[in-house]
Structure 1
């Protein structure tokens, strides 16, 4: 594909992606609220819910240990809870949030992508990736996405709705159960890392995502007990939300999906750039790095003849030089029928060398999952 396949970048984006005053591209459509689940609640709120069911409040801690600690999903295994109370508690705090529609695997079964149907029929995806030294889970924060990035399958599908805290957490817990039960090749294991890089824009669903981060990182029985330092939250650059995240003073990694170092091209690739420009987005990211002392990950999908030119690598290097940042280059996972495709190996190599010349740390992401429709939203699009 050549650059002439695209409309010429301009200072004003096409009408299909231009943000009008007051327009919120990332607003979620109003739909039925997901049922309340134990993972939506703090431990104190769980105690309140249990007592309102007419049962002793201490049962909340027991149920939390079963869910987050033992990864149990069958009330028959709650042997420390009287049998007569199990169904009442289960009905009150464990509604079925999602059902597996399809699971496909590659890498000898160590990469597993699951398509979930939520209680209202919305479709989301999660991916479990087992490496020799760790297990990473990529989770969705929304059903669909409202960011409208043209090279992204999820963005082109549009936004269905935000996920609840529990719907996000349950994706991780489901993967943790598979690992604990030895259902993933390599024997029993545990989730070490969680990345909010699945379907959706995490910071457009801010409250639920922060709730999920706290459930994932609070110690058992409050939560799953993961390290905050092993959680990554991505964004296309919602500056007010980045500032809000900075104020949380969490130790999670912020990942900025930049994809272009110049405003003209980024207006085309990431339409929300028409509201918050590259300089504003990176400025908010550097404030986050300064406050948290955490290195920011700059996500950059390399697209052939679109954003992979050496001069753009040079501009990116100048923007990042001396900053607490790391560039994660992503060979584009092309979607069926799309004109967007991955860069040539020689162009990828030249991009890497240019960044390294500025002293910018850079890696090329492992392209796991390409043979199982690895790009976010592909399975959901096929099912829909």
Structure 2
């Protein structure tokens, strides 16, 4: 059975009654957790001590604990390191924009996808996060800064579709009008391309933004960068994306990390144009972040903007992701890895 923060209100009502308590207590608990963002049972002033004790001795309530916070001197981006109940470490990033506060969260402790340019996958997968542990990254940050989080990106450590059921529950709770009630349209979920789950998500007909970590215009190059490409071809991903667009009428974002001399040449842009032409999509060009364990270099600014120009010339909307928090290792997995090394974890 999940902890109480991972339960829907209906499940919480059933649980409360199953331990001999009145049904209305579930609504009180739910409001404390998801609206008032209280992260400890002890702070719930109208909940009887006996009920709190039953919960503590039963399913419990999971929360994250902040162990470190770094704030960029460049742009105010803040990187949070959180410790989980089992001692695992995850990270989240707060990004401040004119349109509001955006938080990028982790969905797993580590990752088993093995993408060559990503620090998150070094060391492999430890475990999947519970829905409550995904939620609490957002809840903690909103409480810490005293400002509303308006946008959420599930693009931190981990592959969200490798934690699919918990991802769906997280989305249900996050968008619930009885909770924080973040609009589905303000949520982006990224995947490296687990094709069956793209179809499953399409069937849910949610209004979130789906982002595909593409990073290459052909299978041979993609297999060298991303092991998942050995399971699913680019054409299979494109077919799944077409089904998603048809089911949701939502534009898909294709993420493309530019690596100097590897996938950033004009011929690569032309292949990408052929692949995406006519699709309801947007391309997010990402200057790759250097990682000590990898020999990849970031593309030159001239190469990046030439790549963008070629896409837009052929009516494919493309933007270059603004680099945020580089002075605090804000790229996915970098700070967590260095913290673990420092602590000998």
TM over 0.5: yes
After TM superposition, give the deviation of residue 58 of structure 1 in Å: 0.5
Q: Tell me, yes or no, if the aligned pair for 1:333 and 1:374 is still in contact at 8 Å.
A: no
Residue equivalent to 2:186: 230
Aligned counterparts of 1:291 and 1:252: Cα–Cα separation in 2: 12
> What runs of 5+ residues in structure 1 fail to find an aligned partner?
1-34, 183-188
Work out whether residues 74 and 325 of structure 2, in 8 Å CA contact, stay in contact via their aligned partners in 1.
no
Between stretches 370-379 and 243-252, larger displacement belongs to 370-379
Question: CA separation in 2, counterparts of 1:109 and 1:375?
Answer: 14
Q: Map of 1:362-377 to 2, 5 A cutoff? A: 362-377=318-333
User: What's the counterpart of residue 203 of structure 2?
Assistant: 247
Find out whether 1:145 has 2:101 as its counterpart: no
Say whether residues 1:133 and 2:133 are aligned partners.
Answer: no
Tell me which residue corresponds to 2:227.
Answer: 271
RMSD: 1.8
Sort the Cα spacing of 1:71 and 1:159 in 2 relative to 1 into closer, same or farther, 3 A.
same
| 1:161-200 paired onto structure 2 within 5 Å | 161-179=127-145, 182=146, 189-200=147-158
Scaled by the length of structure 2, what TM-score is found? 0.93
What's the counterpart of residue 175 of structure 2? 217
Decide whether the 8 Å contact of 1:162 with 1:205 is kept in 2: yes
Contact 2:117/2:296, CA 8 A, preserved across alignment: yes
CA distance in 1, matches of 2:316, 2:31: 44
Is the Cα–Cα contact under 8 Å of residues 108 and 127 in structure 2 kept in the other structure? yes
Q: Residue 261 of structure 1 aligns with which residue?
A: 217
Residues 166, 77 of structure 1: alpha-carbon distance in 2 compared, 3 angstrom cutoff: closer
For the pair 1:207 / 2:165, whether they are aligned, the reply is yes
Structure 1 CA distance for aligned equivalents of residues 48 and 220 of structure 2: 64
SS across alignment from 2:122: helix
Aligned to 1:73: 39
Q: Give CA deviations for 1:228-286 in whole Å, capped at 9, x if unaligned.
A: 11111111111011011111111111100000011110001111111111111112112
Q: Provide the residue aligned with 1:185 in structure 2.
A: none
Taking structure 1 as the reference length, the TM-score comes to: 0.84
1:32-73 deviation digits (Å, cap 9, x = unpaired): xxx832221111111122223332111110111111111223
3-state SS in 2 of match to 1:157? coil
1:359 to 1:41, Cα distance in 2 relative to 1, 3 A: same
- With 242-251 and 110-119 compared, the bigger mean Cα shift is at 110-119
Q: Which moved more, 1:280-289 or 1:260-269?
A: 280-289
Instruction: Tell me, in whole angstroms, the C-alpha distance in 2 between the residues paired with 1:134 and 1:285.
Output: 29
State the SS of the aligned residue for 2:224: helix
Is the 1:129–1:136 Cα contact (8 Å) retained in structure 2? yes
Does the 8 Å CA contact 1:110/1:131 hold for their aligned counterparts? no
The residue number in structure 2 matching 1:357 is 313
Measured against aligned partners, the alpha-carbon deviations of 1:311-334 in whole angstroms (never above 9, x if no partner) come to 001110121111100000111121
Query: Deviation of residue 135 (structure 1)?
Result: 0.8
**Residues of 1 paired with 2:74 and 2:23: CA distance?**
45
* Counterparts of 1:269 and 1:357, CA distance in 2: 27
CA contact (8 A) 2:189 2:209 kept: yes
Aligned residues of 2:100 and 2:149 also touching (Cα < 8 A) = yes
Asked if 1:285 is matched to 2:241, the reply is yes
Corresponding residue for residue 343 of structure 2: none
Aligned counterpart in structure 2 of residue 99 of structure 1, from 58, 65, 74 = 65
User: Size of the alignment, in residue pairs?
Assistant: 340
Q: CA deviation at 1:165?
A: 1.2
Q: 259, 272, 275: which is aligned to 1:303?
A: 259
For 1:94 and 1:194, locate their aligned partners in 2 and report how far apart those are by CA, in whole Å: 26
Provide the residue aligned with 2:274 in structure 1.
318
Which residue of structure 2 lines up, in the alignment, with residue 154 of structure 1? Answer: 120
Native 8 Å contact 1:334 1:375 kept in 2: no
**Is the 2:105–2:156 Cα contact (8 Å) retained in structure 1?**
yes
